[in-house]
Structure 1
Amino acid sequence: MNILFVHQNFPAQYRELFQWLLAQGGHELVFLTQRKDLPEIRGARVVSYAAHHVPAEDAYAPTKYWEECVGNGLGAAFAARTLSAQGFRPDVILGHVGWGELTFLKEVWPDVPIVGFFEYFFLAKGGSVGFDPEFPASEHAPFLMHARNAVNFANIQTVDLGQSPTLFQRDTYPASFHDKIYVQHDGIRTDRLVPNPAAQVPLGRLGRPVTREDEIFTYMARNMEPTRGFHKFMRALPHILDARPNARALIIGGSEVSYGKASAAQGGYRAEMEREVGGRVDWSRVHFLGKVPYSAYQSVIQVSRCHIYLTVPFVLSWSCMESMSMGATIVASDTAPVREVIEHGKTGLLVDFHDHEALARQVIDVLSAPGDHAALGRAARAEMVERYDFATRCLPVHLARINGLVPSARAIPLPG
């Protein structure tokens, strides 16, 4: 089959599917992306495109995002037109809806089916905006959020089929979208993401690696920011360290902002929160690791006695489910996307997102008696294997949906 993937940040949600198709051989795979540092991949082409237009910083706020999406869409469409002139015609197109990249592809290939990834519908209520009273929504938020959804409304008509990874994410969309969107997670490589009792994490400041024998608790986010509860974690930190004098915190994440408003402080939310908790923290036992390679991230989770995952009602992080697959004992925020994968007292422990003292108490309890909570990690891994394993649960569903849009002669053979 000829398959065109479209995502501004290769490979993103398509990492496992792209790699699996590549390993099967016999498919012509092209990935269209805005990334410039393109990898050389034997058996596939990764093609960079540039946005046709980028709005000015002072562009009219309600239409600025749509303007950006149109620029992305035209850039992707013009790159697709070049591919077409070179003789490439996809049997199916898989792409992310959110940045407008799919918007004009039917103008290039009118008869080629498109499967769109519907990640999130921008909500003024019931989602990330206004959830935390510390960051109240502006009076203009309902208008701005609705305006941002122009790309969603345009692309529900563009695509032949939509996909959302979780029910929470699908249900952020209007009911009129639901019949066109199937719900299936991208898939977790539970065969690779496993517990490892022998894992080690080098800590230069300590002069030795830490292992499962050490009292380690962890926090991870792409960037340390309020959407992922970083401020709540930092406020819980002095309580945890005071109660557990041998505990160490390992923190993964950058100091930028992926979602929401940036901090006005130099150094971002990390610097802001360091100043707030200040002298109440024994900083010799706090290790900010920054953004680390994927293998290093796995080792951090594998040595963790308690992993903390926090989020407002928003897109569920891969790291939450990957940590479950590695058998971590997780203390997480009791928010809608998390409740879809973690059942309190069975596969993890849930606490009120807004109550950092409750978070601290729960983490202290896990650190104090890891044996009493070990079953949670085992059950979490079993849940991932049973419901979210890439090869046995998610891949067959995605292939069936793709095959349903193409002639049987062009269908992708199912695994096994």
Structure 2
Amino acid sequence: MKILFVHQNMPGQYREMIQWLAAQGGHELVFLTQRTPAPQLTGVKTVVYKAHHKPAAEAYGLSKVWEEAAGAGFGAAMAAQALERSQGFKPDVVVGHTGWGELLFFKQIWPDVPVLGFFEYFYIREGGLVGFDPADPPTEHSPFFLHARNVVPFTNINVVDTGHVPTEWQKNVFPTSFHDKFYTCHDGIRTDLLRPNPDVQVGLGRLPAPLTRQDEVFTYLARNLEHARGFHIFMRSLPRILRERPNARVLILGGNEVSYGRKSRHEGGLRAEMEAEIGPDLDWDRVHFLGRVPYPKFCEIVQLSRCHIYLTMPFVLSWSVLEAMSMQATIVSSDVAPVREAITHGETGLLVDFFDHEALAAQVIDVLANPQDHAHLGPAARAHVVEKYDFLTRCLPEHIRQINALVPADKHIPLPA
């Protein structure tokens, strides 16, 4: 089969699927992306495109998102058209993310080519990021800007033949009028590769010996250290945790940018703001900021952790929490709807109120002090992820079935055994 994948930050949600397809052989796989330098995957042809237009900084706010999406969509469409003209490539199916507008114009090039679109988030007035944090209340104009942002999914639902959402919570933030085109299935977690490792060791340059599972290590990670992922709440919990657990160390992973929600007003970002707020009331020698690390190092750090903290406002569930569950981590997380879909309190993890840093501290202290009382959580978490989110046995077969449903029988991809 000829498949065109489209995602501005290759490989995005298609990391596992496209590598599996390439390994099967017999498919012509092309990936259209804005990312430079683009990853080079065996068996995949990468084509980099540029947005045809980007809005000016002073562009009208209510139409700015659409202007940017239209520019990305037209750039992607022109690159796809050029690919057909120069190399004769016309896909049997287009598979891509709808969020940045890249799929908007593919039906103008290939009216007969089916499109399977990934729908990640619909901006809602209640129950999501906006209005969740009392410290960041919505303005009287917020509903208008949110509705204006949704012009992209509103347009894309009429472009795609099938829509894909990874979780029930994400499905339900979209209007019910979208649901008839949706199927719900996670991108998939490689539980066959992500396992616990009792012998793991992690070296830190300023320590004389590597850390092992015998050390009292707890962890926090996010793509970026930001409000939406509860970094400020986590930092406020640290003084008590480290005071009551004098042998504990914390490893913190994440960049200092903002992916979602509001920015810190501090010139050094949220990390600097929280360091200033906490000040000397912390044993900073036991706090290790590691930034962003390669994926294998991330896995080792989670495997090392006696207690892994995952915080989020009501928003898209991070892959990392499911990966941590697969590695049998004991997780303390925020009690919000998208997390409750994956974690049941007391069975597969522990949940606390997002804003209650004292409750977070108390729960982490209990896990560190009494690991035997929580030893059942990690194995149960892994069993749950294997059952519901495993890439090879649960998610991949469903994605292949959905692709096959869009193309003639002679193009079908054999389902994995």
Amino acid in the other structure paired with 1:35 = R
| Alignment deviations for residues 63-106 of structure 1 (CA, whole Å, 9 cap, x no partner) | 11111100100000000101111200101111001000000011
Amino acid in the other structure paired with 2:121 = Y
Match for residue 345 of structure 2? 344
1:20 aligns with 2:6: no
Q: Are the aligned partners of 2:10 and 2:39 in contact in 1 as well (CA < 8 Å)?
A: no
Aligned with 1:210: secondary structure? Answer: coil
Q: Are the aligned partners of 2:227 and 2:262 in contact in 1 as well (CA < 8 Å)?
A: no
Match for residue 198 of structure 1? 199
Match for residue 111 of structure 1? 112
1:30 aligns with 2:38: no
Aligned mates of 2:371, 2:217 — CA distance in 1? 11
Aligned with 1:377: secondary structure? Answer: helix
List, as ranges, runs of 4+ consecutive aligned residues in structure 1 with deviation greater than 4 Å. Answer: none
1:329-408 alignment runs, 5 A limit: 329-408=330-409
Aligned mates of 2:42, 2:340 — CA distance in 1? 40
Deviation, structure 1 residue 264: 2.0
Q: Which moved more, 1:49-58 or 1:201-210?
A: 201-210
Deviation, structure 1 residue 230: 0.4
Deviation, structure 1 residue 179: 1.0
| Alignment deviations for residues 316-364 of structure 1 (CA, whole Å, 9 cap, x no partner) | 0000100000000000000000000000000000000011100000000
Aligned mates of 2:395, 2:10 — CA distance in 1? 20
Aligned mates of 1:159, 1:95 — CA distance in 2? 10
Amino acid in the other structure paired with 2:6 = V
Amino acid in the other structure paired with 1:160 = D
Deviation, structure 1 residue 39: 3.1
Aligned mates of 1:389, 1:14 — CA distance in 2? 14
Aligned mates of 1:15, 1:407 — CA distance in 2? 25
1:257 aligns with 2:275: no
Match for residue 315 of structure 1? 316
Aligned mates of 1:45, 1:138 — CA distance in 2? 46
Deviation, structure 1 residue 407: 0.2
Match for residue 90 of structure 1? 91
Amino acid in the other structure paired with 2:82 = T
Amino acid in the other structure paired with 2:169 = F
Aligned with 1:202: secondary structure? Answer: coil
Match for residue 208 of structure 1? 209
Aligned mates of 1:77, 1:353 — CA distance in 2? 42
Match for residue 155 of structure 1? 156
1:272 aligns with 2:293: no
Aligned with 2:332: secondary structure? Answer: strand
Q: TM-score, normalised by structure 1?
A: 0.99
Aligned mates of 1:154, 1:206 — CA distance in 2? 54
| Alignment deviations for residues 153-188 of structure 1 (CA, whole Å, 9 cap, x no partner) | 000000000000000001000010011110000000
Q: Are the aligned partners of 2:19 and 2:41 in contact in 1 as well (CA < 8 Å)?
A: no
Match for residue 81 of structure 1? 81
Aligned with 2:280: secondary structure? Answer: helix
Aligned mates of 2:179, 2:279 — CA distance in 1? 48
Deviation, structure 1 residue 15: 0.2
How many percent of aligned residue pairs carry the same amino acid?
Answer: 65
Aligned mates of 2:122, 2:42 — CA distance in 1? 36
Deviation, structure 1 residue 30: 0.2
Aligned mates of 1:39, 1:236 — CA distance in 2? 38
Deviation, structure 1 residue 38: 2.2
1:3 aligns with 2:3: yes
Q: Which moved more, 1:137-146 or 1:361-370?
A: 137-146
Aligned with 1:65: secondary structure? Answer: helix
Aligned with 1:252: secondary structure? Answer: strand
Match for residue 293 of structure 2? 292
Deviation, structure 1 residue 222: 0.1
Q: Are the aligned partners of 2:34 and 2:50 in contact in 1 as well (CA < 8 Å)?
A: yes
Aligned with 2:21: secondary structure? Answer: helix
Aligned mates of 1:384, 1:415 — CA distance in 2? 19
Aligned mates of 2:290, 2:136 — CA distance in 1? 27
Match for residue 63 of structure 1? 63
Amino acid in the other structure paired with 2:210 = P
Q: How many residues in Structure 1 have an aligned counterpart in Structure 2?
A: 416
Match for residue 218 of structure 1? 219
Match for residue 235 of structure 2? 234
Aligned mates of 1:39, 1:387 — CA distance in 2? 29
Aligned with 2:32: secondary structure? Answer: strand
Q: TM-score, normalised by structure 2?
A: 0.99
> Where does the alignment leave 5 or more consecutive residues of structure 2 unmatched?
none
| Alignment deviations for residues 235-274 of structure 1 (CA, whole Å, 9 cap, x no partner) | 0011100110000010000000011122221221000011
Aligned mates of 2:390, 2:315 — CA distance in 1? 22
Aligned mates of 1:219, 1:68 — CA distance in 2? 34
1:125 aligns with 2:126: yes
Aligned with 1:209: secondary structure? Answer: coil
Deviation, structure 1 residue 141: 1.0
Aligned mates of 1:40, 1:13 — CA distance in 2? 16
Aligned mates of 1:250, 1:306 — CA distance in 2? 11
Aligned mates of 1:378, 1:261 — CA distance in 2? 36
Deviation, structure 1 residue 376: 0.1
Deviation, structure 1 residue 40: 3.2
Aligned with 2:218: secondary structure? Answer: strand
| Alignment deviations for residues 200-230 of structure 1 (CA, whole Å, 9 cap, x no partner) | 1111112221111000010000000000000
Amino acid in the other structure paired with 1:69 = A
